[in-house]
Amino acid sequence: MTDYQRVTDHPRIGIRPIIDGRRLGVRESLEEQTMRMAESVAKLYTENLRYPDGAPVEVVIADSTIGRLPEAQACARKFREQNVGLVLSVTPCWAYGTETIDIDRTIPQAIWGFNGTERPGAVYLAAALAGHTQLGIPAFGIYGEQVQDSDDASIPDDVRGRLLEYATAGLAVAQLKGKSYLSIGGVSMGIAGCVVKEEFWQYYLGMRNEYIDEVELERRIKLGIYDEEEYEKAYAWVRENLQQGEDFNPEEFQRSGEEHEDWWPYVTKLVLIGRDLMVGNPKLAEKGFEEEAVGHGALASGFQGQRQWTDYLPNGDLMETILNTSFDWNGPRAPYIQATENDNLNAASMLLNHLLTNQAQIFSDVRTFWSAEAVERVTGYKLEGRGEGGFIDLRNSGATTLDGTFAAKDADGKPCIKPWWELTEEDQKAMVEATTFHPANTGYFRGGGFSTHFRSEGDVPVTMTRINWVDGLGPVMQLAEGYTIELPDEVAKTIELRTDPGWPSTWFVPTLTGKGAFTSVYEVMNSWGANHGAISYGHIGHLVITLASMLRIPVNMHNVAEDRIFRPKNWKAFGTMDLESADYRACATLGPLYH
């Protein structure tokens, strides 16, 4: 499969150079400095940001500086024509606030006011942001801490950081718009997160909802609605590279080797079909299946599986594992976001994390809090170091991305998850070798199939997130930054055997702050809003908070230091002491981005 099947339209960043409109000397003296600011930010963005398909981010600069309303209108027309999905205004000077701001309410807005004393860029920033606040159009204010000289073309580090944070989150908003979430099946085992709240997807994310029955998978297998040539390649790769592990079922419930051999072709076809359902496949049209070839335009999907499917047919664990992984039989490629059990709220959490990082995401059950006392009682082992206060067992019921092994290594040799375009052959080999695929637990999956098992490497920085829907309130975001830990082999085996040794193991210790939900590891799990979580490599909590503010989703639980938090300036008008309450008030007052 090639990238042209991807659902991506490269929304651009629009840069608006704002200038003092007074002619006969003032405006003319500022033209060069103002355009230089715009060009320096454009260079920063194109050199540092990429779309999920690996292409550099595209930037559009207004045709002229903007000093009066007609120039703002001309810029708005150009941005509409050029697929601009977020806007940054830059200025070194005073200008006419409400005449020059962008008033599009449906895309993120930010202003960088140059901190210089020759011309009052900070005065314009304050006036323009006040205009945004009065109009009810949130905008982020960016203002360097140190005074610069007027001929200083550099971008200070603090400004650089805010510019990149804003654009990273804003691009995520822009890439969601108009895409879809595909539900393959319905609600799994009464899990609330599987209930699709269309008002969430459409009003808050600007996305559509698509639905198909699980029987469509079986139909496509029976009728050969997949690329048979690619299937042969995929099946050969699967059998050559994926290690079948021990059957942990009681002997009386174990299936024969012949049945295992029958499962492998079936579950491999599910991978191809799950992908084709999301993004389409032109090869299907060549076989006469033109309708099926177009797919569902989905940025994310979910597979119900349990129980109607898995009571009867081989499970979708291989499909979920491989689709969420940054490579397959065709080599490295962007991961497809697919949620276990059609938990669409966890899929949304994974999707937001993915668009912020361009990295694969781990889907996990937030399964068990293991205290140090419980570990010592059960295994005889005393937890030390990061784990001395206990840990949370993140073990999904059979599937998650192979990137979650953290077997890939960064430039310093540390375990990580990379954007797909940075993956080496050694990274891919290491992930596969760290993983075994076990005949499924037939107590849960009567139809068989294979589940994915690995143990995540330890001391890796991660962020766990989750969107929950609250009746009367709407969506809320919670997140916890922390680290993975490792356990000695015998300790790990003992703990895995108490749940399922054929499932992926990630042991997580959140960073404690002594406040709110972060007084203990137990309290973090006790405060978690659902049975699933989306786990991203790195400490990205500040980016998640920025993105949530753009989407008007309040954050009800986080452990991010205040100096890392970046929200629109008008959030301060809702309170500066209790920032969590102010966030709730701001989101409630402004309402969903698309409603």
The contacts of residue 262 (CB under 8 Å, 6+ apart) are none
Sign of the C-alpha dihedral, residues 397, 403, 409, 411? negative
- For the question of residue 261 being annotated catalytic, the response is no
The contacts of residue 405 (CB under 8 Å, 6+ apart) are 430, 431, 434, 435, 454, 455, 456, 457
Phi-psi region of 112 (alpha: psi -120 to 50; beta: other; left: phi over 0): beta
- For the question of residue 365 being annotated catalytic, the response is yes
Sign of the C-alpha dihedral, residues 38, 40, 45, 46? positive
8 Å CB contact between 551 and 593: yes
Q: Alpha-carbon distance 531 to 393, whole Å?
A: 12
Q: Alpha-carbon distance 465 to 481, whole Å?
A: 9
Could you tell me what percentage of the chain is helix, strand and coil, using 3-state DSSP and rounding each to the nearest 5? 40, 20, 40
Q: Which of 174, 159, 205 is nearest to 566 (CA)?
A: 159
Cα–Cα distances (Å) from 592 to 196, 551, 584, in that order, read: 17, 7, 12
Q: Which DSSP letter does residue 200 get?
A: I
Say whether 422 counts as a known binding-site residue.
no
Which burial class, exposed, middle or buried, applies to 32 when counting CB atoms under 10 A from its CB (0-12, 13-18, 19+)?
exposed
List 247, 317, 341, 403, catalytic entry = 341
Q: Which of 263, 258, 264, 284 is nearest to 273 (CA)?
A: 284
Neighbours of 473 (CB within 10 A): 13
Say whether 247 counts as a known binding-site residue.
no
List 328, 365, 427, 500, catalytic entry = 365
Q: Which of 324, 327, 318, 319 is nearest to 351 (CA)?
A: 324
The contacts of residue 377 (CB under 8 Å, 6+ apart) are none
Sign of the C-alpha dihedral, residues 45, 138, 562, 517? negative
Helical (H) or strand (E) element with 167: helix 157-176
Segments in 208-338 forming alpha helices (H): 215-223, 228-241, 257-279, 282-286, 290-293, 317-323
Helix (H, G, I), strand (E, B) or coil at 528: coil
Q: Which of 269, 189, 168 is nearest to 228 (CA)?
A: 269
**Which tokens is 60 given?**
């559009």
Helical (H) or strand (E) element with 468: strand 461-470
Q: Alpha-carbon distance 512 to 286, whole Å?
A: 56
Q: Alpha-carbon distance 576 to 595, whole Å?
A: 27
Say whether 341 counts as a known binding-site residue.
yes
Annotated binding site for Mn(2+): 341, 365, 532
Catalytic site positions:
341, 365
| Annotated binding-site positions | 341, 365, 532
